[in-house]
A and B are shown apart, each in its own frame.
Chain A
Amino acid sequence: MAEHDHDHDHGSELSEMQLRVRALETILTEKGYVDPAALDAIVETYETKIGPRNGARIVAKAWTDPAFKQALLADASKAIGTLGRVGDHLIAVENTPQRHNIVVCTLCSCYPWEMLGLPPVWYKAAPYRSRTVKDPRGVLADFGVSLPKETEIRVWDSTAETRFLVLPMRPPGTEGWSEEQLAAIVTRDSMIGTGLPQARP
């Protein structure tokens, strides 16, 4: 892997981490615990196959297919299971003009990997994990999102193996769009609850 290293920061921690991680991989390989090629495949899966477009496809389908939307809100794992593999306990929560949903994991970094890929650094970092349950409007302001003051805000702290996917509201100006066009405007943040999809020209 050294030949393909993309690290540009040559700070001491980084060099140390590169060495320590490489040493551990050597140990696990020498002991016959892992085949490095299988590790390559895991990394590749998360870099190229699993990402927010998986969730965006689901949201776009829910926007255009009322029966699917109903099934998704009733049992997201089951509804999505008809389209591809998904683990248990996925819950889709719908944004409405009356209520906005936002998802956090205050204890670690629980996140619907299969729908959104690996979480971004901010989702796993102290500012988001500490403030979202106490000051969600302040956190939304950090993302440039301002909601009417009477909108109910519901914070979902992912403390167990249930995972949450926000179903954002379909923005105005998207009438007649295809599922594919709609999927393109469904952002990762809108499915966490820290963003709102926008119709782009």
Chain B
Amino acid sequence: MWPVTAIEVLSQEGTLMVANQSNTLTAKKEFVFNSAAYLLRIGTERAHTLNELLEGLRVVPDSSIFQHMFQTLAEHHYIREGFSNDFAHWAFFSCNETGLAERLAGIDVREYTSIKEMRQRIIQVIEEYVKRNSASADRKALETFYFCSSDTVVIPTTISARNLDDFVDGLRRVSLHSIHYHFINARLRIKLNSNDFSQWLNEELGLGALADKFEAIDIYTSTLNGVRRQMVKLAESESEHARVAA
């Protein structure tokens, strides 16, 4: 039974939403904020040269690729410079191969929906580099690269949202691990070039434009706190706009 002040609204996609008297859209399916915690496992593969890195990349489990491409964004979420992924970092700081580091840093996790595709791309970048710079292939790095992987455990929170205002409140309150889980890691879970937040905003609240703005936030030039602040600002602006329009 809907409240008497409720107005039924159909989004473009046909999803039933409800607008209350203040015109705050209310989704039928709430957004449940989860978080995640990670245990880092040290693998047996290690690399002292670019060729050994290639060998390792071909055989390590998916969880290792995940760790070195995705997790580093959580582990160093307070730094904006230089930490796109562990492979790029190692190529720069330990191998002194700046060109390779830049190419590896250019691999954007947002463009992939499977670890398999990402692994192939990383291998391709290094193979091409080594082919053009054969002397670099077996040059010993300053530090060894240790392939690690993470065991991920999902941790539920008590925070959920059915409308935009509650969603903003949730964004403010959850840990950065939750932001990372929904905004970055989600890409692999939902196999779309998107994230949990954008998907819910679009499908449950019909806020496609806001969803696109969320998606466009650059995770590589912001800290995770910076990403959070941008999302809050965008969502608050949308909410204010809706109030004024009402």
B partners with A = no
Residues of chain A at the chain B interface (Cβ within 8 Å): none
Mark B residues whose CB is within 8 Å of A.
Answer: none
